[in-house]
Amino acid sequence: MTDKTLELAAELIRRPSVTPEDHGCQDLMIEHLEAIGFQVTRLRFADVDNFWGQRGDSSPLVVFAGHTDVVPTGPLESWVSDPFEAKVRDNFLWGRGAADMKSSLAAFVTAIEDFVTANPDHKGSIGLLITSDEEGPSINGTVKVVQWLEQQKIKIDYCIVGEPSSQDTLGDVIKNGRRGSLNGKLRIKGKQGHVAYPHLAANPIHLAAPAIEELCRMQWDNGNEYFPATTFQIANLQAGTGAENVIPGELSMQFNFRFSTCVTEAELKERVARVLDKHQLDYELDWRLSGNPFLTPVGELVDAARDAIQEIAGLETTLSTSGGTSDGRFIAPMGAQVVELGPLNRTIHQANECIATDDPARLSHIYRLILEKLLT
C-alpha cells in the first residue's frame, strides 16, 4: 500500500478493538495529531477510552467525531481472511471496521494533516471527539465527553460524524439528522390457570391482543420533508410456562418507536398509556429513551459537505435521516450543526466487511475540502 490514508486505515484495523476495547487505536491517532499541534485530553470513563483533541482556540470550531470500537467478528469461518489482518485484495480493503468506521478515522487524520500543512494559520479551530463506546451501550463514551465539553465551556459549531452514510457510491448520501429512538418494556398481568378452566384464570395474551392490535394500527404522525412517519415495532413478545395446558399469568413485550420531529417522547408515552388504560389492562410499563431526533437544516455545514462531494466525487448528494441512531444525537443538542458523512454502508456489521481501496483517500479529500470551506 502506498496511499497514506489506506495505510493508516489498515493499521487501525489490525488493532482488534472489539467494543469497548480501544486496543491502541487512539494512541495511534493521538501520535499523528500531537505532531501537528493538537492539545489532547484523554478521557476514560469506567472501562471506556475516549479523547478530545483540539488545535486552535477561536471559533468556529469544526469537529470530527467517531469511534474506534467495532462489533464482534462473528464466526471466523465466515470470513475469507482474518478480520483483523487488513488484507488488500481485488481492489478492496477487507477487515472488521473497514467501513464502520476505521477508514473514516484515518481520513479524519490525513485530511487534517494535509489541511494544517497547507494552512498553518487557519482561522477557527479543529477538534476531534473519539470514543470506544459507540457500538456498545453508549453510556461512557460520547455522551460523557459532551458533558465534559460543556463543563469546559467548549462549544462545537460544526460536527462531521464519520459513520458510513453512503449507499451506492462514496458521497451519494449524507445524513443531516436521525430519528429518535424510544424503547418500552411492557408487562401485562393476568392470572395463571388450567386451560380447561379458563373461567378461573385470566389469559394476558387474550386480554392484551386488542390493545396490541390498536397500537400496531395507529398512525403516530405523518412525518415531514426530512423524516418518514414515526413507526412502532414489537421486538419481543413472551408468555407461557412452556406447558401446553397452562394459561400464562403474565405477558412481556418489548417495543420501539423510531420517531420524527413531528412528535415528542412525552406524546408517545401518553398515547400508549391511553390505549392500555382504555382496554382496562393491569400493566407495568418502563421506558428508555435512546435518543431524541435531531435535524441540521440546509446551511453552512450541509452546503460545505455538498460542495466538497461535488468537487471530489462529481455527484449531487442526497440528504437523508434514515437508519438507526448515531452519536450525533448527543452532539446536536449542544447547538452544533451535525452531518454524518462516511463510506459505503453495504457491508457494515457483516462478515467480510470491506471498502474500496480508493475510497479512504477520496474521503480524506472531501473532509479536507470541507475544512477549507469552513476555515479559510
Catalytic residues: 69, 134
Q: Round to whole Å and give the CA distance between 160 and 300.
A: 12
Residues 6+ apart with CB under 8 A from 259: 179, 180, 181, 182, 220, 221, 230, 231, 265, 268, 293
Radius of gyration of the chain (CA): 24
Non-local (6+) Cβ contacts of 249 within 8 A are 189, 190, 191, 192, 204
Q: Which residue has the cell 462516511?
A: 342
Q: What CA–CA distance (Å, rounded) separates 190 from 224?
A: 40
H-helix segments, 35-102: none
Angstrom CA distances, 154 to 60, 146, 336, 362, stand at: 11, 9, 11, 30
Q: Which residue blocks in the chain are alpha helix, DSSP H?
A: 4-13, 25-34, 103-118, 142-151, 204-217, 265-278, 300-313, 328-331, 359-375
Nearest residue to 180 via CA among 259, 297, 233, 296: 259
Compute the distance between CA of residue 343 and CA of residue 165 in angstroms, rounded to an integer.
6
